[in-house]
Amino acid sequence: MQFVPAKIPQFIKRIFPNYVWDFSSRDKVLYLTFDDGPTPEITQWTLNTLKQYNAKATFFCIGNNVAKHPEIFHAILNEGHSIGNHTQDHVKGWDTTTSKYLENVAEADTIITKELENTKIKLNLFRPPFGQLKNKQGKAIIQLGYKIVMWSVVAFDWEQKVPKEQCLKNVINKASIKNNIIVFHDSVKASRNMMYALPKVLEHFSKKGYTFKAISFK
């Protein structure tokens, strides 16, 4: 996804109008999202940091990681954050047949839904790993009742060649009311950049009067 700019151009959003790229609002609201968890090394730190700023977020979870670390998954829920399906094994849509891709999505759905038993939470958010999704895959996932949530601004926190200061600038300079869905990763690979940038992003926008909400479609 290195070819993707930090701020998604409008023409990309127009090509895929059935995907969620941002939310129209005059309010100062940002939607922080975290992909690839839950992971014991970084997710709890992320939850603690968000709590300091009374910030809610959305975690797009890998089914395999939920199976390995259900206690961390439930910590996300207990803090009032939203969750979404990020496939079972972080598969690339462009390199996977539609049938195999949907099987992977379904496997994650089964694992995550089981962990949601005895809650009122409905699993209806999906984000494709790498932002890669064939048209047929996207249509099929929407037919399953999912909202496909993309992003407005990407931090590039996972990219080792990106300095942590640049990761911060990617968000500070690009996020706004009109570009309000931001991608971070609660993964070990992204931890250096994310742990540097996230507290500063929260502090910067909190001082400007922004609030941080979880994505929800009832």
218 lies in some domain? no
64 lies in some domain? yes
79 lies in some domain? yes
127 lies in some domain? yes
What six digits make up the tokens of 160?
């080792």
5 lies in some domain? no
Q: What confidence score (pLDDT) does residue 4 get?
A: 62
Q: What confidence score (pLDDT) does residue 164 get?
A: 97
User: How many domains does the chain contain in total?
Assistant: 1
Q: What's the CATH number where 208 sits?
A: 3.20.20.370
User: Which residue numbers are catalytic?
Assistant: 35, 185
3 lies in some domain? no
Three-state secondary structure along the chain?
Answer: CCCCCCECCHHHHHHCCCCECCCCCCCCEEEEEEECCCCCCCHHHHHHHHHHCCCCEEEEECHHHHHHCHHHHHHHHHCCCEEEECCCCCCCHHHCCHHHHHHHHHHHHHHHHHHCCCCCCCCCEECCHHHCCCHHHHHHHHHCCCEEECCCEECCCCCCCCCHHHHHHHHHCCCCCCCCEEEEECCCCCHHHHHHHHHHHHHHHHHCCCEECCCCCC
What six digits make up the tokens of 101?
């891709």
70 lies in some domain? yes
pTM (2 d.p.): 0.95
Q: What confidence score (pLDDT) does residue 1 get?
A: 39
1 lies in some domain? no
Q: Tens place of pLDDT for every residue, the chain, 218 residues? A: 344 678 777 877 787 889 999 998 889 999 999 999 999 999 999 999 999 999 999 999 999 999 999 999 999 999 999 999 999 999 999 999 999 999 999 999 999 999 999 899 999 999 999 999 999 999 999 999 999 999 999 999 999 999 999 999 999 999 999 889 999 999 999 999 999 999 999 999 999 999 999 999 97
**Residue 100 lies in domain:** 10-212
Q: How many other C-beta atoms lie within 10 A of the C-beta of residue 51?
A: 12
